[in-house]
Protein backbone atom coordinates (compact mmCIF):
# COMPACT_ATOMS: atom_id res chain seq x y z
CA UNK A 1 0.00 0.00 0.00
CA UNK A 2 1.03 3.61 -0.48
CA UNK A 3 2.79 4.98 2.52
CA UNK A 4 0.47 7.26 4.49
CA UNK A 5 2.23 9.87 6.62
CA UNK A 6 0.27 12.94 7.56
CA UNK A 7 1.60 15.82 5.49
CA UNK A 8 3.28 18.42 7.71
CA UNK A 9 2.41 22.08 7.36
CA UNK A 10 5.10 24.55 6.27
CA UNK A 11 7.79 25.48 7.10
CA UNK A 12 10.05 22.45 7.73
CA UNK A 13 12.79 22.69 10.39
CA UNK A 14 15.50 25.03 9.15
CA UNK A 15 18.36 22.61 9.92
CA UNK A 16 16.80 20.03 7.59
CA UNK A 17 16.71 22.38 4.60
CA UNK A 18 19.79 24.53 5.09
CA UNK A 19 22.68 22.07 5.15
CA UNK A 20 26.25 22.90 4.10
CA UNK A 21 25.75 21.04 0.80
CA UNK A 22 22.53 22.91 0.06
CA UNK A 23 24.10 26.30 0.80
CA UNK A 24 27.06 25.49 -1.46
CA UNK A 25 24.79 24.56 -4.36
CA UNK A 26 22.53 27.54 -3.61
CA UNK A 27 25.39 29.98 -4.29
CA UNK A 28 25.98 28.45 -7.74
CA UNK A 29 22.30 28.30 -8.65
CA UNK A 30 21.55 31.85 -7.48
CA UNK A 31 24.55 33.28 -9.38
CA UNK A 32 23.61 31.67 -12.68
CA UNK A 33 19.96 32.63 -12.26
CA UNK A 34 21.06 36.24 -11.67
CA UNK A 35 23.09 36.09 -14.87
CA UNK A 36 20.05 34.80 -16.76
CA UNK A 37 17.90 37.65 -15.44
CA UNK A 38 20.48 40.19 -16.69
CA UNK A 39 20.96 38.59 -20.11
CA UNK A 40 17.20 38.36 -20.70
CA UNK A 41 17.01 42.16 -20.39
CA UNK A 42 19.39 42.59 -23.33
CA UNK A 43 16.84 41.22 -25.79
CA UNK A 44 15.06 44.31 -27.18
CA UNK A 45 11.67 42.69 -27.52
CA UNK A 46 10.79 40.48 -24.53
CA UNK A 47 7.87 38.88 -26.37
CA UNK A 48 10.39 37.13 -28.64
CA UNK A 49 11.87 35.34 -25.64
CA UNK A 50 8.68 34.63 -23.78
CA UNK A 51 6.97 33.10 -26.83
CA UNK A 52 9.93 30.93 -27.70
CA UNK A 53 10.59 29.58 -24.23
CA UNK A 54 6.97 29.19 -23.12
CA UNK A 55 6.07 26.92 -26.02
CA UNK A 56 9.10 24.72 -25.36
CA UNK A 57 8.07 24.50 -21.68
CA UNK A 58 4.47 23.63 -22.57
CA UNK A 59 5.82 20.76 -24.66
CA UNK A 60 8.33 19.53 -22.03
CA UNK A 61 6.00 19.82 -19.04
CA UNK A 62 3.24 17.95 -20.86
CA UNK A 63 5.76 15.26 -21.80
CA UNK A 64 6.33 14.52 -18.09
CA UNK A 65 2.62 13.57 -18.06
CA UNK A 66 3.11 11.42 -21.20
CA UNK A 67 1.41 13.98 -23.45
CA UNK A 68 3.73 13.85 -26.43
CA UNK A 69 3.72 16.13 -29.45
CA UNK A 70 6.25 17.96 -31.64
CA UNK A 71 7.19 21.60 -31.79
CA UNK A 72 6.27 21.61 -35.45
CA UNK A 73 2.73 20.40 -34.71
CA UNK A 74 2.37 23.05 -32.00
CA UNK A 75 3.48 25.98 -34.11
CA UNK A 76 1.23 24.84 -36.95
CA UNK A 77 -1.69 24.58 -34.54
CA UNK A 78 -1.06 28.09 -33.23
CA UNK A 79 -0.77 29.48 -36.76
CA UNK A 80 -3.64 27.73 -38.53
CA UNK A 81 -7.33 27.28 -37.90
CA UNK A 82 -9.08 23.93 -37.58
CA UNK A 83 -9.53 21.01 -35.23
CA UNK A 84 -6.41 20.05 -33.28
CA UNK A 85 -5.36 16.59 -32.06
CA UNK A 86 -6.00 16.15 -28.32
CA UNK A 87 -2.28 16.07 -27.40
CA UNK A 88 -1.65 19.35 -29.24
CA UNK A 89 -4.69 20.98 -27.65
CA UNK A 90 -3.50 20.03 -24.16
CA UNK A 91 -0.09 21.58 -24.73
CA UNK A 92 -1.64 24.77 -26.13
CA UNK A 93 -3.91 24.97 -23.06
CA UNK A 94 -0.81 24.69 -20.88
CA UNK A 95 0.84 27.57 -22.73
CA UNK A 96 -2.31 29.63 -22.24
CA UNK A 97 -2.26 28.78 -18.51
CA UNK A 98 1.32 30.10 -18.18
CA UNK A 99 0.32 33.42 -19.76
CA UNK A 100 -2.79 33.55 -17.53
CA UNK A 101 -0.66 33.04 -14.41
CA UNK A 102 1.91 35.59 -15.53
CA UNK A 103 -0.72 38.28 -16.12
CA UNK A 104 -2.27 37.60 -12.66
CA UNK A 105 1.15 38.03 -11.03
CA UNK A 106 1.85 41.21 -13.02
CA UNK A 107 -1.47 42.68 -11.91
CA UNK A 108 -1.50 41.78 -8.21
CA UNK A 109 1.94 40.43 -7.22
CA UNK A 110 0.57 37.44 -5.27
CA UNK A 111 -1.67 34.39 -5.76
CA UNK A 112 -4.98 33.38 -4.22
CA UNK A 113 -6.54 29.92 -4.25
CA UNK A 114 -9.02 31.12 -6.89
CA UNK A 115 -6.04 32.09 -9.12
CA UNK A 116 -4.52 28.62 -8.83
CA UNK A 117 -7.92 27.16 -9.71
CA UNK A 118 -8.08 29.37 -12.82
CA UNK A 119 -4.61 28.15 -13.90
CA UNK A 120 -5.53 24.48 -13.35
CA UNK A 121 -8.90 24.89 -15.08
CA UNK A 122 -7.16 26.42 -18.13
CA UNK A 123 -4.89 23.36 -18.33
CA UNK A 124 -7.52 20.62 -17.95
CA UNK A 125 -10.61 22.43 -19.28
CA UNK A 126 -12.97 21.31 -16.53
CA UNK A 127 -14.60 22.78 -13.42
CA UNK A 128 -13.98 19.95 -10.97
CA UNK A 129 -11.89 22.23 -8.71
CA UNK A 130 -10.38 21.03 -5.41
CA UNK A 131 -10.78 17.30 -4.72
CA UNK A 132 -13.76 16.58 -2.49
CA UNK A 133 -14.03 12.80 -2.88
CA UNK A 134 -11.61 10.41 -1.16
CA UNK A 135 -9.89 7.69 -3.19
CA UNK A 136 -7.15 9.56 -5.07
CA UNK A 137 -3.82 7.69 -5.01
CA UNK A 138 -0.65 7.93 -7.10
CA UNK A 139 0.44 4.69 -8.72
CA UNK A 140 3.54 3.45 -10.45
CA UNK A 141 2.67 3.45 -14.18
CA UNK A 142 4.45 0.16 -14.81
CA UNK A 143 3.58 -1.95 -11.76
CA UNK A 144 0.28 -0.37 -10.68
CA UNK A 145 1.63 -0.24 -7.10
CA UNK A 146 0.35 2.66 -4.98
CA UNK A 147 3.39 4.85 -4.27
CA UNK A 148 1.73 7.76 -2.52
CA UNK A 149 -1.61 8.56 -0.92
CA UNK A 150 -2.21 12.33 -0.74
CA UNK A 151 -4.49 13.96 1.88
CA UNK A 152 -8.03 12.67 1.31
CA UNK A 153 -10.41 15.00 3.13
CA UNK A 154 -11.38 18.31 1.54
CA UNK A 155 -10.99 20.21 4.84
CA UNK A 156 -7.44 18.97 5.26
CA UNK A 157 -6.62 19.79 1.61
CA UNK A 158 -7.97 23.34 2.07
CA UNK A 159 -6.03 23.86 5.33
CA UNK A 160 -2.82 22.69 3.65
CA UNK A 161 -3.39 24.89 0.58
CA UNK A 162 -4.07 27.93 2.81
CA UNK A 163 -0.79 27.25 4.62
CA UNK A 164 0.97 26.71 1.27
CA UNK A 165 -0.29 30.07 -0.07
CA UNK A 166 0.77 31.94 3.08
CA UNK A 167 4.34 30.79 2.42
CA UNK A 168 4.10 31.20 -1.34
CA UNK A 169 3.15 34.86 -0.97
CA UNK A 170 5.57 35.71 1.87
CA UNK A 171 8.03 38.35 0.70
CA UNK A 172 10.52 37.98 3.57
CA UNK A 173 11.53 34.62 5.01
CA UNK A 174 14.61 33.26 6.76
CA UNK A 175 15.21 30.96 3.82
CA UNK A 176 16.52 31.93 0.40
CA UNK A 177 13.67 31.95 -2.17
CA UNK A 178 15.37 29.15 -4.17
CA UNK A 179 15.33 26.81 -1.16
CA UNK A 180 11.73 27.88 -0.61
CA UNK A 181 10.96 27.14 -4.25
CA UNK A 182 12.00 23.51 -3.72
CA UNK A 183 9.99 23.24 -0.48
CA UNK A 184 6.88 24.81 -2.00
CA UNK A 185 7.07 22.60 -5.08
CA UNK A 186 7.29 19.48 -2.91
CA UNK A 187 4.39 20.67 -0.77
CA UNK A 188 2.07 21.43 -3.68
CA UNK A 189 2.79 18.10 -5.37
CA UNK A 190 2.20 16.30 -2.04
CA UNK A 191 -1.09 18.09 -1.33
CA UNK A 192 -2.15 17.08 -4.87
CA UNK A 193 -5.23 19.32 -4.55
CA UNK A 194 -6.86 18.53 -7.91
CA UNK A 195 -8.04 15.34 -9.60
CA UNK A 196 -5.94 16.19 -12.65
CA UNK A 197 -3.25 18.66 -13.76
CA UNK A 198 -1.38 18.89 -10.41
CA UNK A 199 2.09 18.39 -11.90
CA UNK A 200 1.58 20.94 -14.65
CA UNK A 201 -0.04 23.47 -12.30
CA UNK A 202 2.84 22.99 -9.83
CA UNK A 203 5.43 23.64 -12.53
CA UNK A 204 3.69 26.89 -13.53
CA UNK A 205 3.67 27.93 -9.85
CA UNK A 206 7.48 27.52 -9.83
CA UNK A 207 8.03 30.22 -12.44
CA UNK A 208 5.42 32.53 -10.88
CA UNK A 209 7.20 32.19 -7.53
CA UNK A 210 10.52 33.25 -9.11
CA UNK A 211 8.82 36.32 -10.62
CA UNK A 212 7.05 37.26 -7.35
CA UNK A 213 10.46 37.14 -5.66
CA UNK A 214 12.08 39.24 -8.41
CA UNK A 215 14.56 36.49 -9.29
CA UNK A 216 13.28 36.87 -12.86
CA UNK A 217 11.22 39.53 -14.64
CA UNK A 218 9.59 37.34 -17.27
CA UNK A 219 8.56 33.66 -17.42
CA UNK A 220 11.62 32.14 -19.10
CA UNK A 221 13.03 29.52 -16.71
CA UNK A 222 11.43 26.12 -16.55
CA UNK A 223 12.65 22.94 -14.93
CA UNK A 224 10.60 20.51 -17.02
CA UNK A 225 13.34 19.57 -19.50
CA UNK A 226 15.65 18.78 -16.56
CA UNK A 227 12.91 16.73 -14.87
CA UNK A 228 12.27 14.87 -18.14
CA UNK A 229 15.94 13.88 -18.34
CA UNK A 230 16.05 12.90 -14.66
CA UNK A 231 12.48 11.73 -14.16
CA UNK A 232 13.14 8.67 -12.00
CA UNK A 233 15.20 10.71 -9.54
CA UNK A 234 12.50 13.36 -9.38
CA UNK A 235 9.78 10.93 -8.29
CA UNK A 236 12.15 8.93 -6.07
CA UNK A 237 13.22 12.07 -4.18
CA UNK A 238 9.68 13.43 -3.77
CA UNK A 239 8.68 10.07 -2.26
CA UNK A 240 11.79 9.80 -0.09
CA UNK A 241 11.18 13.30 1.33
CA UNK A 242 7.62 12.33 2.10
CA UNK A 243 8.47 9.03 3.76
CA UNK A 244 11.56 10.01 5.75
CA UNK A 245 11.28 13.80 6.12
CA UNK A 246 14.81 14.01 4.65
CA UNK A 247 15.06 17.09 2.48
CA UNK A 248 18.69 17.47 1.46
CA UNK A 249 18.90 15.31 -1.65
CA UNK A 250 15.57 16.57 -3.02
CA UNK A 251 16.45 20.27 -2.50
CA UNK A 252 19.85 19.69 -4.13
CA UNK A 253 18.05 18.15 -7.12
CA UNK A 254 15.85 21.27 -7.56
CA UNK A 255 18.80 23.67 -7.07
CA UNK A 256 20.84 21.76 -9.66
CA UNK A 257 17.84 21.89 -11.99
CA UNK A 258 17.78 25.69 -11.58
CA UNK A 259 21.52 25.95 -12.28
CA UNK A 260 21.56 23.66 -15.31
CA UNK A 261 18.39 25.07 -16.83
CA UNK A 262 19.59 28.66 -16.33
CA UNK A 263 22.86 27.85 -18.14
CA UNK A 264 20.97 26.28 -21.05
CA UNK A 265 18.54 29.20 -21.23
CA UNK A 266 21.45 31.70 -21.26
CA UNK A 267 22.99 29.76 -24.15
CA UNK A 268 19.65 29.75 -25.95
CA UNK A 269 19.22 33.53 -25.49
CA UNK A 270 22.73 34.19 -26.79
CA UNK A 271 22.03 32.03 -29.84
CA UNK A 272 18.75 33.86 -30.47
CA UNK A 273 20.54 37.24 -30.19
CA UNK A 274 23.24 36.17 -32.63
CA UNK A 275 20.65 34.92 -35.12
CA UNK A 276 18.68 38.16 -34.75
CA UNK A 277 21.78 40.26 -35.52
CA UNK A 278 22.67 38.03 -38.47
CA UNK A 279 19.10 38.22 -39.83
CA UNK A 280 19.13 42.03 -39.63
CA UNK A 281 22.41 42.11 -41.60
CA UNK A 282 21.05 39.79 -44.31
CA UNK A 283 17.83 41.81 -44.72
CA UNK A 284 19.74 45.11 -44.84
CA UNK A 285 22.05 43.60 -47.45
CA UNK A 286 19.61 41.65 -49.64
CA UNK A 287 16.27 43.34 -49.05
CA UNK A 288 16.99 46.80 -47.67
CA UNK A 289 13.79 48.28 -49.16
CA UNK A 290 11.60 46.22 -46.82
CA UNK A 291 13.84 46.43 -43.73
CA UNK A 292 11.85 47.35 -40.63
CA UNK A 293 12.74 46.51 -37.07
CA UNK A 294 9.17 45.35 -36.32
CA UNK A 295 9.17 42.98 -39.28
CA UNK A 296 12.36 41.23 -38.14
CA UNK A 297 11.10 41.03 -34.54
CA UNK A 298 7.89 39.42 -35.78
CA UNK A 299 9.87 36.55 -37.35
CA UNK A 300 11.31 35.88 -33.88
CA UNK A 301 8.08 36.38 -31.95
CA UNK A 302 6.27 34.03 -34.35
CA UNK A 303 8.74 31.52 -35.80
CA UNK A 304 5.81 30.30 -37.95
CA UNK A 305 4.53 33.48 -39.57
CA UNK A 306 1.76 34.28 -42.00
CA UNK A 307 0.32 37.20 -43.94
CA UNK A 308 -2.20 38.15 -41.19
CA UNK A 309 0.57 38.58 -38.63
CA UNK A 310 2.49 40.98 -40.88
CA UNK A 311 -0.70 42.95 -41.73
CA UNK A 312 -1.44 43.32 -38.01
CA UNK A 313 2.11 44.08 -36.84
CA UNK A 314 3.09 46.54 -39.57
CA UNK A 315 -0.34 47.90 -40.42
CA UNK A 316 0.08 47.22 -44.16
CA UNK A 317 -2.15 45.79 -46.91
CA UNK A 318 -2.29 42.00 -47.44
CA UNK A 319 -0.60 42.40 -50.82
CA UNK A 320 2.39 44.19 -49.28
CA UNK A 321 2.57 41.68 -46.41
CA UNK A 322 2.63 38.79 -48.87
CA UNK A 323 5.39 40.48 -50.87
CA UNK A 324 7.52 41.05 -47.75
CA UNK A 325 7.29 37.38 -46.78
CA UNK A 326 8.19 36.23 -50.31
CA UNK A 327 11.20 38.58 -50.40
CA UNK A 328 12.36 37.20 -47.03
CA UNK A 329 11.97 33.68 -48.38
CA UNK A 330 14.07 34.55 -51.44
CA UNK A 331 16.73 35.97 -49.13
CA UNK A 332 16.92 32.55 -47.43
CA UNK A 333 15.50 33.74 -44.09
CA UNK A 334 12.12 32.01 -44.24
CA UNK A 335 10.82 28.84 -45.80
CA UNK A 336 7.20 28.62 -46.93
CA UNK A 337 4.94 25.63 -46.38
CA UNK A 338 1.34 24.96 -47.36
CA UNK A 339 -0.92 23.91 -44.49
CA UNK A 340 -4.41 23.35 -45.79
CA UNK A 341 -5.36 26.53 -47.63
CA UNK A 342 -2.83 28.68 -45.82
CA UNK A 343 0.80 29.39 -46.53
CA UNK A 344 2.98 29.71 -43.47
CA UNK A 345 6.52 31.01 -43.43
CA UNK A 346 8.97 29.31 -41.09
CA UNK A 347 12.06 30.81 -39.48
CA UNK A 348 13.87 27.46 -39.60
CA UNK A 349 17.13 28.67 -38.04
CA UNK A 350 15.24 29.88 -35.00
CA UNK A 351 13.27 26.64 -34.75
CA UNK A 352 16.59 24.75 -34.68
CA UNK A 353 17.78 26.83 -31.71
CA UNK A 354 14.49 26.31 -29.85
CA UNK A 355 14.41 22.56 -30.48
CA UNK A 356 17.93 22.02 -29.27
CA UNK A 357 17.25 21.67 -25.56
Q: Which pLDDT tens digits describe the chain residue by residue (357 residues)?
A: 344 568 999 999 999 999 999 999 999 999 999 999 999 998 888 888 888 788 888 888 888 888 887 778 877 877 877 778 888 888 889 999 999 999 999 999 999 999 999 999 999 999 999 999 888 888 877 888 888 999 999 999 999 999 999 999 998 788 999 999 999 999 999 999 999 999 999 999 999 999 999 999 999 998 999 999 999 999 999 999 999 999 999 999 999 999 999 999 999 999 999 999 999 999 999 999 999 999 999 999 989 999 999 999 999 999 999 999 999 999 999 999 998 888 999 999 999 998 876
pTM summary value: 0.92
Query: Domain ends where: 266, 298, 319?
Result: 266
137 shares a domain with 69: yes
331 shares a domain with 253: no
Q: What is the CATH number of the domain that holds 347?
A: 1.10.10.10
* Partners of 338 in beta bridges: 343
Q: Catalogue the long-range contacts made by 110-119 (C-beta closer than 8 Å, 24 or more residues apart).
A: 110/168, 110/169, 110/212, 111/165, 111/168, 111/169, 111/205, 111/208, 111/212, 112/165, 113/161, 113/162, 113/165, 116/161, 116/165, 116/193, 116/201, 116/205, 119/201, 119/204, 119/205
Q: How many domains, in total, are found in the chain?
A: 2
Within a domain: residue 75?
Answer: yes
Q: What is the CATH number of the domain that holds 213?
A: 1.10.3290.10
307 shares a domain with 246: no
Within a domain: residue 320?
Answer: yes
Within a domain: residue 134?
Answer: yes
208 shares a domain with 349: no
Domain containing 88 equals 14-266
299 shares a domain with 262: no
Within a domain: residue 1?
Answer: no
224 shares a domain with 112: yes
Amino acid sequence: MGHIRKLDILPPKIEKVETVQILRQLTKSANVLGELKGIAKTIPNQAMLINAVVLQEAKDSSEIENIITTQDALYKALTTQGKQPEQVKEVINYRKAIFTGFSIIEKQGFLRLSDIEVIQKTIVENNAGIRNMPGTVLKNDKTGEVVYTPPQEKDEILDLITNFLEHFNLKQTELHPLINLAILHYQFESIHPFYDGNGRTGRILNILYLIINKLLDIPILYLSSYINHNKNDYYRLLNATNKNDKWEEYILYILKAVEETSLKTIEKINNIKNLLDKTIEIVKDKASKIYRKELIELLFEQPYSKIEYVVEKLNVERKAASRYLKILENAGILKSQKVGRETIYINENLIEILKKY
